[in-house]
A and B are shown apart, each in its own frame.
Chain A
Amino acid sequence: MAEIATLADAVGELVGDGDVVALEGFTHLIPTAAGHEIIRQGRRDLTLVRMTPDIVYDQLIGAGCARKLVFSWGGNPGVGSLHRFRDAVENGWPRALEIEEHSHAGMANRYVAGASGLPFAVLRGYVGTDLASVTESIKPITCPFTGEVLTAVPALNPDVTVVHAQRADRRGNVQLWGLLGVQKEAVLAARRSLVTVEEIVDELTPVPGAVVLPSWAVTVVAEVPGGAHPSYAQGYSERDNAYYAAWDAISRDRDEFGAWVGRLTREGSARVTGKGGER
């Protein structure tokens, strides 16, 4: 049965220094508030895993929480670069960042293998690309039935996966809908999991296309309304496009970024000021 806890207690209990941590959510339901709590609690040496590192990973990397990044696409969607990520890769600031780089198909299959209790996944992928030469976790494998050479990628089994969902009931059953990304696989692949939700309700009424993660497959549920901001939670909030745009200027400048981290850790404010005013 999932425990219901505050976000601060949940992160304190589940995320330790040096852990392999996956925050998932494919541009929808991104668990940003949980990422901010990891920064506030000053976690270090994390191996961060995420298909699409975007603002929240830029923030975690810039704040010095990460030793390594496992990913397939790192950018500020619709805006441009992640400058904290680039600064870490290009200049080793605030510390060197090891990278393990895949394609989306590879990352998705790595979570599927992890969720399935298998050591690796097989796909037709990476053929002819330079990714296989720079990423050790991409290997050829021969089909024992047909002799065809395919690609193997190892299972991802994070120490902890964090996702955001629309709601949970009081027993900790979790319901999410809209773009589902790879959240179910990432939760089932992980040793421990934290689900932040928009609200905790008495009863989960059916929603078309929704996925339910049973309480016994989740470690901790925390109620964090707006916990996906600046991404969105379908049915609850809209994507805050102005925040993504405003992040660009903060992310470009180490001092601006430092001031942002200071406000986050001292005052708990993740807000940014840009063309659209304060977000």
Chain B
Amino acid sequence: MSYTSDEMMAVAAARALSGRQRVFVGIGLPSTAANLARRTHAPDLVLVYESGTLGSKPDRLPASIGDGILAETADAVISVPEVFNYWLQPGRIDIGFLGAAQLDRFGNINTTVVGDYTAPKVRLPGAGGAPEIAASCREVYVVVRQSRRSFVERVDFVTSFGHGTGRGDRERLGLRGAGPTLVITDLGVFRPDAGTAELVLTDLHEGVSLDDVRAATGWDLKVAPDLGRTRPPTADELAALRALKEASK
């Protein structure tokens, strides 16, 4: 069964979620992956959206963070201050699932500007909930389409803190969560090095070469010695993903 690189990315990201994990879900790719996981191998995932829904169980992909289906299918609907103060800040969420416009070699995220802040080349939407999601969730997973524009040596602006300039920065700043522990792109999977926290390629998606990944990485990429291969999407995973997308039209 043929599939696109975006489908591979969504499936790989969905597989990273399991059990009853409580997942703070951003809209877009993270939401697609989290809902796919809930519809396939992880039906008990707890999806939390920043619009104020705990335990949303949508049967299609929400069109926006405020899609009514998120509220209608939730265990509880709460205000936005409550989401951040009572549920995120004290560390009740396992996984923060984020996207990025730029991601750098230490997992720092930029969704604010390309270029200089005061005279930006491109003004991006901004922070939203991400800075505190990146700070307070036990772990952060990032899903991003990979290119030299998105995978950069150093982000133009740190909207959400990853590992700063290397291992130990989070501890020094008193951040409680572990930060980005997993990055999934349309080409492969990356994890921070145990020593330096630099993102290292640990898995290649099927049909992708190491050269493809290097060509889409804006730094001198390190590769894990036991580089793995992502299993291609199964027929069931693809069917579930396509059904979700179809239901969302």
Residue A257 at the chain B interface, CB threshold 8 Å: no
A105 touches B88 (CB 8 A): yes
Q: How far is the CB of A99 from chain B (nearest CB, A)?
A: 9
B70 closest partner in A (C-beta): A179
Which chain B residues border A103 with CB–CB below 8 Å? 127-132
Bound: A128/B85 CA distance, A: 19
Number of interface residues of A (CB under 8 A): 54
Which residues of B103-145 are within 8 A (CB) of A?
A: 112, 117, 120-132, 135-136
Render A88-106 as a binary contact track against B, CB cut-off 8 A, 1 for contact. 0110000000000111110
A127 touches B77 (CB 8 A): no
B52 touches A181 (CB 8 A): yes
Of B84, B157, B170, most buried by chain A (CB within 10 Å of CB) is B84
Residue B173 at the chain A interface, CB threshold 8 Å: yes
Bound: A28/B80 CA distance, A: 12
B68 touches A105 (CB 8 A): no
Which chain B residues border A149 with CB–CB below 8 Å? 174
> Quick one: given A73-B127, A125-B131, A181-B79, are A27 and B65 in contact (CB under 8 Å)?
yes
B164 closest partner in A (C-beta): A128
Residue B160 at the chain A interface, CB threshold 8 Å: yes
> Quick one: given A85-B123, A103-B130, A131-B131, are A148 and B174 in contact (CB under 8 Å)?
yes
Bound: A28/B64 CA distance, A: 10
Residue B216 at the chain A interface, CB threshold 8 Å: no
Which chain B residues border A73 with CB–CB below 8 Å? 125-129
Bound: A73/B111 CA distance, A: 9
Residue A81 at the chain B interface, CB threshold 8 Å: yes
Bound: A267/B244 CA distance, A: 41
Bound: A178/B51 CA distance, A: 10
A108 touches B66 (CB 8 A): no
Render A102-120 as a binary contact track against B, CB cut-off 8 A, 1 for contact. 1111001101100000000
Which chain B residues border A105 with CB–CB below 8 Å? 84-85, 88-89, 129, 131-132
Render A224-261 as a binary contact track against B, CB cut-off 8 A, 1 for contact. 00000001101000110100100000000000000000
B51 touches A123 (CB 8 A): no
Select which of A52, A127, A184, A241 is within 8 A of B161 by beta carbon: A127
Which 9 pairs show the lowest CB-CB distances between chains A and B? A27-B66, A128-B161, A75-B125, A73-B128, A77-B64, A105-B84, A108-B81, A105-B132, A104-B129
Select which of B64, B85, B120, B124 is within 8 A of A239 by beta carbon: B64
Bound: A143/B46 CA distance, A: 33
Which chain A residues border B175 with CB–CB below 8 Å? 127-128
Bound: A26/B64 CA distance, A: 10
A128 touches B158 (CB 8 A): yes
Q: How far is the CB of B36 from chain A (nearest CB, A)?
A: 18
A134 closest partner in B (C-beta): B117
Q: How far is the CB of A165 from chain B (nearest CB, A)?
A: 14
Bound: A94/B229 CA distance, A: 52
Of A52, A71, A101, most buried by chain B (CB within 10 Å of CB) is A52
Bound: A131/B157 CA distance, A: 8
A110 closest partner in B (C-beta): B81
Render B55-99 as a binary contact track against A, CB cut-off 8 A, 1 for contact. 000000001111110111000011111011100110000000000
Can you spell out 24 A-B residue pairs with CB atoms less than 8 angstroms apart? A27-B51, A73-B129, A77-B63, A85-B123, A90-B121, A101-B112, A101-B127, A105-B89, A109-B84, A124-B135, A129-B131, A129-B158, A131-B127, A149-B174, A178-B77, A179-B52, A179-B53, A179-B70, A179-B77, A184-B79, A185-B81, A239-B63, A239-B68, A244-B64
